[in-house]
A and B are shown apart, each in its own frame.
Chain A
Amino acid sequence: MARIVVIGAGAAGISAASTAKQYDRSLEVTLIGDLAHTAYSPCGIPYVFGREVASFDDLFLQKSEFYTEEIGLDLRLSTFVERIDMASRTVEMGGGERLPFDRLILCTGWQYVLPEIPGIELEGIHFVKDIDRAREIDRALDGVDSVVVWKARPVGLELATGLAHRGKQVTVIDEEPWLLAEFADPDVMQMGQESLEKLGVRFLLSTRLRELKGRDGRLVSAITAPGEIACQMAFMAADQKPDTRLARQIGVRLGSAGGIVVDDAMRTNVADVFAAGAVVETPQAIAEVPVRLMPGTYAYTQGRVAGANAAGDERHYRAVHVPWAMEVGTTQVGGVLITETLARALGRPYIIGEAKGISCARYHPKVEPMRVKMLADPATREVIGIQFAGGDGVKERADFMAFAMRKHATIDELATMENVYSPPIGALNEPIAVAARNAVAAAAGK
């Protein structure tokens, strides 16, 4: 009986292992993870901190028994893989146990890079990922008045929003000049920043966090150029790097972004070794360069491809457009790469069409703004990026545009798109269509 071993029990790993076993029930499939739990959403942790979600238990998608009893996986949690021996085709785990495999899937995900900031070892400094650790942090938050969030990245802003909801005094410190600088342009993010400022969040942007100061081993303040900020906790949305330790051990090729290189069937350069999720590099369709550390949706879908192919199928993944969306304060922001910042950095020509639209009928009490910023290639007139800021409906628009961009939709096609009109849920003029019409006008030099 053939055995597949999956290392990493996050989204990609659980997806790969489940898919492999469901594809061929005769396979032995072992899933190994170093954390104590699997099948939970770490992205939900800030929402439990903020009391929007009642309990950490709600973050679990399934109990472990579902995977062992219904799917039939051999689940090894709280298990560290020391090394992989390709010669004997075994995985050596902590404690010395060796597990043979016929095919291997690396879903080792990412880890935070420990920042080189003096005082980083103090108590009260947190890197949010593990759910058991999050429970401890949550209990300790009751005794905390002020917190610092380092880096205005997605997880940083989710933490800032959640902690502000919980009544904490929040200061966000980032060297970048605006929020979500990797995903959005400054004109788009203004609405989100204003929303968080209304919740009492303070921003120190273009600012280095120089030191974390402590007393008796506990954090008491953060030192920046503008001044010292008293705080009892610091949440570090630090750089995340793919965890390639095991991949490097066995000669799996890494790419220019530091992640594992795979083909579109999730195969690495080592025979019978696949990889999926945050640890791999994925080509971005517009920028055409491999990117890494995609959100959980990609990990699940890539895991399915890797798991099925390790089990004997022949599925393929495709280059991605990266739709994204999130709540920042009480505002939603989102879009599909690439941004104007990135287009400028890459040297790609573009035209812009913008719209300050609304989410539904102007006279309806549920009406909210819906700002759209659309980028198109001036030669092909295909959309190459889009961003949204406003109320409900950002996620759906980002999803729609990711698909439209996959189909090479042009501003001319979108300018005449069909849309739903219904007073409480859809405006007469869809903001995407308005932005496209403005892009058409811009292309004509009007």
Chain B
Amino acid sequence: MPVVTRKAPPASPLQRFRAWSEKMLIEAAQLDLARKYPGTTAAPIRRGALHAVVRTVFVTGYRLTPAPLRRWVLRRLLIRREQRWSSA
């Protein structure tokens, strides 16, 4: 039978940073939506005090960064020049 699973391939520092930062931002957004729409979600999984502090610091810093600067950093970090495709 062919193999359809494998161990996670090695991730570059950029890939690890993107995965981690997305996880932090999405977790924070999920907590916001759980508060906004009570009764529609399960209680968030407990991840420990250190994790919560790190998430709060990172997400607060992200949200306080001016949007144009955030966008500039995202584009520089995550998007290669050849990936700027038109959507038209």
Contacts and interface: CB of A to CB of B under 8 A. Distances in A.
Contacts of A187: 33, 37, 40
Nearest to B21: A345
B33 A340 contact: yes
A117 B52 CA distance: 24
Interface residues of B, number: 48
A34 B44 CA distance: 40
B79 A342 contact: no
A114 B7 contact: yes
Interface string A352-382: 0000000000000000000000000000000
B11 A185 contact: no
Interface string B17-53: 0100010011011101110010011111100000000
B80 A341 contact: no
A321 B85 CA distance: 12
Contacts of B37: 185-187
Contacts of B22: 345
A267 B5 CA distance: 27
A186 B82 contact: no
Contact of B85 (A113, A185, A317): A317
Interface residues of A, number: 66
B46 to A, nearest CB: 9
A103 interface: no
Nearest to B37: A187
A319 B86 contact: yes
A113 B6 contact: yes
Contacts of A346: 25
Contact of B79 (A114, A258, A283): A283
B5 A238 contact: yes
Nearest to B8: A113
B20 to A, nearest CB: 12
A35 interface: yes
Given A205-B42, A290-B79, A181 B30 contact: yes
A257 B9 contact: no
B62 A347 contact: yes
Interface string A250-280: 0001111110011110010100000000000
A313 B23 CA distance: 40
Nearest to A187: B37
Contacts of A133: 1, 4
A24 interface: no
Given A190-B40, A261-B80, A113 B5 contact: yes
Contact of A112 (B5, B40, B80, B83): B5
A178 B44 contact: no
B33 A256 contact: no
Nearest to A204: B42
A213 B70 CA distance: 46
B67 to A, nearest CB: 7
A341 B2 contact: no
A407 to B, nearest CB: 8
A185 B4 contact: no
B36 to A, nearest CB: 8
A341 B26 contact: yes
A241 interface: yes
A416 interface: no
A283 B83 contact: yes
Interface stretch (A44-52, A124-132, A423-431): A124-132
A319 B87 CA distance: 5
A112 B45 CA distance: 24
Contacts of A112: 4-6
Please give me the 8 A-B residue pairs with the lowest Cβ-Cβ distance, nearest first: A205-B42, A285-B87, A344-B29, A319-B87, A186-B40, A345-B25, A345-B29, A206-B42
25 contacts: A127-B5, A177-B41, A177-B42, A177-B43, A177-B45, A178-B41, A185-B33, A186-B37, A189-B40, A254-B12, A256-B18, A257-B15, A262-B82, A264-B86, A283-B83, A283-B85, A318-B85, A341-B29, A341-B33, A342-B29, A344-B32, A344-B33, A345-B22, A347-B70, A406-B88
Given A130-B4, A186-B40, A206-B43, 16 more contacts: A111-B6, A113-B5, A127-B4, A177-B45, A190-B40, A205-B42, A207-B45, A255-B78, A256-B18, A256-B79, A262-B83, A283-B79, A318-B87, A341-B26, A342-B26, A346-B25
